[in-house]
Amino acid sequence: MTIGTSQPRELARFYSRMLDLPVTADEGPGPDEPETGGWAQIRPPEHVAALTLSFEYERSYARPVWPSAPGRQNATQHLDIKVDDLPAAVEWAVACGAVPAEFQPQDDVRVMLDPDGHPFCLFL
Protein backbone atom coordinates (compact mmCIF):
# COMPACT_ATOMS: atom_id res chain seq x y z
CA MET A 1 0.00 0.00 0.00
CA THR A 2 1.26 3.47 -0.87
CA ILE A 3 0.28 6.46 1.24
CA GLY A 4 0.44 9.94 -0.26
CA THR A 5 1.85 12.52 2.14
CA SER A 6 3.64 15.84 2.48
CA GLN A 7 6.38 14.17 4.57
CA PRO A 8 7.10 10.61 3.38
CA ARG A 9 10.35 9.97 5.22
CA GLU A 10 9.03 11.35 8.52
CA LEU A 11 5.84 9.33 8.19
CA ALA A 12 7.82 6.16 7.45
CA ARG A 13 9.81 6.70 10.66
CA PHE A 14 6.55 7.20 12.60
CA TYR A 15 4.98 3.95 11.35
CA SER A 16 8.30 2.12 11.67
CA ARG A 17 8.47 2.98 15.36
CA MET A 18 4.80 2.42 16.05
CA LEU A 19 4.59 -0.94 14.23
CA ASP A 20 8.15 -2.08 15.03
CA LEU A 21 8.98 -2.57 11.34
CA PRO A 22 12.24 -1.45 9.74
CA VAL A 23 12.52 1.40 7.26
CA THR A 24 13.76 -0.43 4.16
CA ALA A 25 13.94 2.51 1.74
CA ASP A 26 14.54 6.20 2.38
CA GLU A 27 15.11 8.40 -0.66
CA GLY A 28 15.57 12.13 -0.42
CA PRO A 29 13.59 14.74 -2.32
CA GLY A 30 13.43 14.69 -6.08
CA PRO A 31 14.00 17.71 -8.33
CA ASP A 32 11.83 20.66 -7.33
CA GLU A 33 10.61 18.92 -4.15
CA PRO A 34 10.99 20.49 -0.71
CA GLU A 35 13.33 19.00 1.89
CA THR A 36 10.38 17.01 3.27
CA GLY A 37 9.82 15.33 -0.11
CA GLY A 38 11.08 11.98 -1.31
CA TRP A 39 9.92 8.42 -0.86
CA ALA A 40 10.25 5.83 1.90
CA GLN A 41 9.09 2.33 2.75
CA ILE A 42 8.69 0.06 5.74
CA ARG A 43 8.59 -3.68 5.24
CA PRO A 44 8.51 -6.66 7.57
CA PRO A 45 11.36 -9.18 7.56
CA GLU A 46 10.92 -11.87 4.89
CA HIS A 47 9.71 -14.50 7.38
CA VAL A 48 6.96 -12.23 8.78
CA ALA A 49 3.58 -11.90 7.09
CA ALA A 50 2.67 -8.22 7.24
CA LEU A 51 1.83 -5.35 4.94
CA THR A 52 4.53 -3.34 3.19
CA LEU A 53 3.84 0.39 3.43
CA SER A 54 5.31 2.92 1.03
CA PHE A 55 5.14 6.68 1.57
CA GLU A 56 5.24 8.96 -1.45
CA TYR A 57 5.53 12.74 -1.60
CA GLU A 58 2.43 14.49 -2.95
CA ARG A 59 2.99 18.09 -3.96
CA SER A 60 -0.67 19.07 -3.50
CA TYR A 61 -1.34 16.99 -0.40
CA ALA A 62 -4.30 18.16 1.69
CA ARG A 63 -4.84 16.73 5.18
CA PRO A 64 -8.01 14.65 5.24
CA VAL A 65 -10.80 15.36 7.67
CA TRP A 66 -12.41 12.60 9.69
CA PRO A 67 -15.22 11.96 9.77
CA SER A 68 -15.73 13.14 6.20
CA ALA A 69 -17.35 16.51 5.58
CA PRO A 70 -18.88 17.96 2.40
CA GLY A 71 -16.39 19.92 0.34
CA ARG A 72 -13.36 18.78 2.40
CA GLN A 73 -10.60 16.28 1.61
CA ASN A 74 -11.70 12.86 2.82
CA ALA A 75 -9.50 9.92 3.73
CA THR A 76 -9.35 7.58 0.74
CA GLN A 77 -8.04 4.71 2.84
CA HIS A 78 -7.02 3.96 6.39
CA LEU A 79 -5.16 1.25 8.24
CA ASP A 80 -6.91 -1.02 10.74
CA ILE A 81 -4.43 -2.29 13.32
CA LYS A 82 -5.46 -5.15 15.61
CA VAL A 83 -4.20 -4.80 19.19
CA ASP A 84 -4.51 -6.84 22.37
CA ASP A 85 -4.72 -3.93 24.81
CA LEU A 86 -6.50 -0.85 23.46
CA PRO A 87 -5.50 1.67 26.17
CA ALA A 88 -1.84 0.59 25.94
CA ALA A 89 -1.92 0.74 22.13
CA VAL A 90 -3.39 4.25 22.21
CA GLU A 91 -0.72 5.32 24.70
CA TRP A 92 2.03 3.88 22.47
CA ALA A 93 0.60 5.52 19.32
CA VAL A 94 0.49 8.89 21.11
CA ALA A 95 4.08 8.41 22.32
CA CYS A 96 5.07 7.80 18.70
CA GLY A 97 3.38 11.01 17.51
CA ALA A 98 -0.28 10.15 16.78
CA VAL A 99 -3.26 11.97 18.21
CA PRO A 100 -6.72 10.58 18.97
CA ALA A 101 -9.43 11.83 16.61
CA GLU A 102 -12.08 13.98 18.26
CA PHE A 103 -14.91 11.69 17.16
CA GLN A 104 -14.76 8.09 18.43
CA PRO A 105 -17.69 6.06 17.04
CA GLN A 106 -17.10 2.75 18.87
CA ASP A 107 -16.04 1.63 22.35
CA ASP A 108 -13.70 -1.12 21.10
CA VAL A 109 -12.01 0.98 18.36
CA ARG A 110 -9.89 4.12 18.62
CA VAL A 111 -9.54 6.34 15.58
CA MET A 112 -6.12 7.97 15.60
CA LEU A 113 -4.45 10.52 13.30
CA ASP A 114 -0.85 10.09 12.21
CA PRO A 115 1.53 13.10 12.12
CA ASP A 116 0.30 14.09 8.63
CA GLY A 117 -3.40 13.70 9.46
CA HIS A 118 -4.16 10.26 7.98
CA PRO A 119 -6.68 8.40 10.14
CA PHE A 120 -5.95 4.85 11.30
CA CYS A 121 -7.87 2.59 13.65
CA LEU A 122 -6.67 0.58 16.61
CA PHE A 123 -9.12 -2.22 17.40
CA LEU A 124 -9.49 -5.23 19.68
Nearest to 92 by CA among 104, 110, 77: 110
What's this model's pTM, rounded to 2 decimal places?
0.92
Domain 79-123 carries which CATH code?
A: 3.10.180.10
Give the mean model confidence (pLDDT) for residues 94-104: 97
| Residue 87 identity | P
| pLDDT above 90 for 9 | yes
Rounded to an integer, what is the distance from CA 53 to the centroid of its chain?
9
pLDDT tens digit sequence for 14-24: 999 999 999 99
The predicted structure's pLDDT at residue 86: 97
pLDDT tens digit sequence for 36-81: 999 999 999 888 877 899 999 999 998 888 888 888 787 778 899 9
In the chain, where the domains are located? 2-57, 79-123
The predicted structure's pLDDT at residue 117: 94
What is the four-CA torsion angle of 109, 89, 66, 108, rounded to 10 degrees? 10
The predicted structure's pLDDT at residue 72: 76
Give the mean model confidence (pLDDT) for residues 91-102: 98
